[in-house]
Amino acid sequence: MSRLALLAGPELPVGAERLASHVGRLGPLPRGGRALIELLVRTELTGRGGAGFPVGVKWRAVAAASSGSAVVIVNGAEGEPHSKKDRLLMSSRPHLILDGALLAAASVHAKEIVLYIGEGLHGAFRAMTEAVAERTAMERRLIRIVAAPARYVAGDSSATVHLVDAGIATPTTTPPPPRERGVGGAATLVQNVETLAHVALIARTGAGTNTVLVTVAGAVRTPGVLEVYAGTSLGEAVQLAGGPSEPARAVLLGGYFGRWVEAADAWSLSIDPRALRDRGLSLGCGVIGVMPARHCPVCEVAGIMRYLASESSAQCGPCFFGLRALADACTRIAERGTDPGDLQRLQRWSAEVQGRGACKHPDGAIMFLQSAMKTFGDDFANHPAHLRRSA
């Protein structure tokens, strides 16, 4: 486990850091406001939930639309199957997240902070609840906690608003985005827990942070969460996770809405949101998934497409029917072997579904599939008939 800035402090097995230790280590909560928003713009902090939206720009928009009625939603849904970094941060450094949330609330003139925590994340739930109880009465009055259903789309920002408003964690039609019209119609800032922890550090030092949390999963010896410096190579991160446990075929970077990279090209890639974006990649939610060489990529991709299809919230036809059709075509290729008709249908349906959901779920799934078909083109073109391997 490497612990640099976000995870500095007491050893992690100790559990959640108490308020006294947190304040003793980092000092009191600085002031939020206009100056902090401009600092976040200057330091170019981007969201760590997956979409990578510029934080300062979002805060500016919410502050401008707020007039004292805004809401801050602290997004700890962590619905991404292999991601563990948000629950680790909530379980071990809850006050860093609360600091970020309180700074956000002060900066955008919010009347309420909602902690939106994945319902299965018991350690995170307990740690955040206990941390809130340690805060002042004035801070506690601002904060409430809600449980997010353990579904992939529950972390979508419009879905978080929908759950708080109506108890249903399904995405809603945008525009307008939550930052313009969210909870109860008020401008709403939805921000991932890691992002807010970065804010808590930036507000204290006046400088940008240079670390990110990643989850290394798959064929490594000690899978788990790491805090690494931006600019660390993927190969170094994999070494920090104990090194490969067997020969690797490819890396899925950024979770299920991410991109595939052949292992040979992957190790030298730099874990830096901007550097990756320049190469058409994205750190997304920070999952580095290492697929072993003995796995069949087509079968692997078919399994993930079936998962993403099943996680459609079944609201928009193109997503509900389209992702199912795409997953079925992948599965046919995986189990019955390559069929030129299915390859054509994958292309045609991908183009048809792209951009036609209320949320980005279909787009994320299509990007994943297109990246897979590009990276594993030969495998898709020459897949033998065989039954799918068990997961």
Taking CB under 8 A as the binding criterion, the range among 114-122, 218-226, 354-362, 372-380 that sits at the site for other proteins is 354-362
Q: How far is the CB of 71 from other proteins (least distance, A)?
A: 22
Give dist(CA 260, CA 262) in Å, integer.
7
Which of 358, 363, 370, 388 touches other proteins (CB under 8 A)?
358
In the chain the beta strands, taken as DSSP E runs, fall at 70-76, 110-118, 143-148, 188-192, 211-218, 224-229, 248-253, 259-262, 287-292
Nearer to other proteins, 185 or 317 (CB): 317
Which tokens belong to 68?
């004292």
Q: How far is the CB of 321 from other proteins (least distance, A)?
A: 4
Q: Could you give the 3-state DSSP secondary structure of residue 228?
A: strand
User: Under the criterion CB under 8 A, does residue 5 sit at the interface with other proteins?
Assistant: no
Taking CB under 8 A as the rule, which mask of x and - marks residues 324-343 in contact with other proteins? -x------------------
Q: ∠ CA 287-289-293 to the nearest 5 degrees?
A: 170
Taking CB under 8 A as the binding criterion, the range among 27-35, 40-48, 59-67, 356-364 that sits at the site for other proteins is 356-364
Give dist(CA 377, CA 179) in Å, integer.
40
Q: How many residues bind other proteins (CB under 8 A)?
A: 17
Q: In what order do the strands lie in the sheet with 211-218?
A: 224-229, 211-218, 287-292, 248-253, 259-262
User: Under the criterion CB under 8 A, does residue 318 sit at the interface with other proteins?
Assistant: yes
Q: Which residues pair with 290 in a beta bridge?
A: 218, 251
Nearer to other proteins, 291 or 309 (CB): 309
Nearer to other proteins, 234 or 330 (CB): 330
Taking CB under 8 A as the binding criterion, the range among 199-207, 241-249, 298-306, 347-355 that sits at the site for other proteins is 347-355
Which of 165, 180, 352, 363 touches other proteins (CB under 8 A)?
352
Q: How far is the CB of 369 from other proteins (least distance, A)?
A: 16
Which of 185, 317, 341, 377 touches other proteins (CB under 8 A)?
317
DSSP 42: H
Taking CB under 8 A as the binding criterion, the range among 37-45, 85-93, 96-104, 355-363 that sits at the site for other proteins is 355-363
* Burial degree of 376 (CB within 10 A; 0-12, 13-18, 19+): buried
Contacts of other proteins in 258-287 (CB under 8 A): none
Which tokens belong to 61?
């928009």
Give dist(CA 243, CA 228) in Å, integer.
15
Taking CB under 8 A as the rule, which mask of x and - marks residues 136-175 in contact with other proteins? ------------------------------------xx--
Tell me, what amino acid is at 307? Answer: Y
User: Under the criterion CB under 8 A, does residue 177 sit at the interface with other proteins?
Assistant: no
Give dist(CA 195, CA 47) in Å, integer.
6
Q: How many CB atoms lie within 10 A of CB 171?
A: 23
Residues that bind other proteins (CB under 8 A): 172-173, 315-319, 321-322, 325, 348-349, 352-353, 356-358
